[in-house]
Amino acid sequence: MSSLPATTNPFPVRVLGGPTALFEYGGLRFLTDPTFDAPGDYARPDGRFLTKTAPSSGAPADLGSIDVVLLSHDEHPDNLDISGRALLADVPLTLTTPGGGQRLKARAKGLADWESIELNRPDGGTITVTGVPAIHGPGPREKVEPVTGQVVGFVLTGEDLPTVYVSGDNASLDVVKEIAERFAPVDTALLFAGAPRFPELFDNQLIVLNSDQAAEAAQLLGARRVVPVHYDSWAHFTEGRDELVAAFTAAGLADRLDWGRRD
């Protein structure tokens, strides 16, 4: 990609549909928000349903070993479904929200805002994973979390490694500014987008970034590469690939987009 300096050494990202992506970083294999169930209607704890419209492009059995799951939150089936929960039992470590860590127990650890954990790299050295804020809806966290729950994002850093941001289900550009103040420029940003809305939630306002906001987030982060996720395969996403391309093109950032591998 022309906008990526050679020194950033961009690593491949396999995008599996919805919020799920697989990448190797520092010798460890990371998976975001595991969702592998078949298309259909899935119940939320509040009694509403989410409709999955397309199958994942891979199955857990095809992925090989996973070292770490980066789980933005465990309470919604479009971020952790039945198959995804089963997969967690075979993964040594799942990083998630403080509440999710309590619910999932066993091999899960919750990260509070700006809390870090160091992971040993197979070839020596460490990877630092920092939990960063995310707000799953419009407005301040104290008004949003009682409705949509806790969400966490992640920043990955390490000596001689690129800086990676995984946004999780975040709708707040103010949060992105806070993260940018600490970590920009970011080499690779996995941005959750899709502009999901529900008439019964927050007067149909956005609960995750729309395409224009994703482009603005990329600018704030100084992101050299953006891998969009969480924009397809579910009926409540109101914007998809075309809108993302248009927004990044209008912002002069089209060459930053990387759609990942789908095989």
Largest CA distance in the chain: 50
Backbone angles phi, psi at 13, to 5 degrees: -125, 125
pLDDT of residue 152: 97
Q: Is 23 helix (H, G, I), strand (E, B) or coil?
A: strand
Tell me what pLDDT residue 83 has.
95
- For position 7, what pLDDT does the model report? 38
- 49-52 vs 40-43, strand pairing mode: antiparallel
* pLDDT tens digit sequence for 114-145: 999 999 999 899 999 999 999 988 988 899 88
**pLDDT for position 3:** 42
Round to whole Å and give the CA distance between 100 and 74: 6
pLDDT number for residue 11:
93
Angle, helices 211-221/173-183, rounded to nearest 10 degrees: 20
User: In this predicted structure, what is the pLDDT of residue 6?
Assistant: 36
Q: Which residues of the chain have pLDDT under 70?
A: 1-9, 44-47, 202, 204
157 strand-pairing partners:
128
Distances (CA, A) of 40 to 53, 87, 208, 209: 7, 20, 22, 24
Pairs from 61-66 (Cβ < 8 Å, separation ≥ 24): 63/22, 63/31, 64/29, 65/29, 66/22, 66/29, 66/30, 66/31, 66/90, 66/91
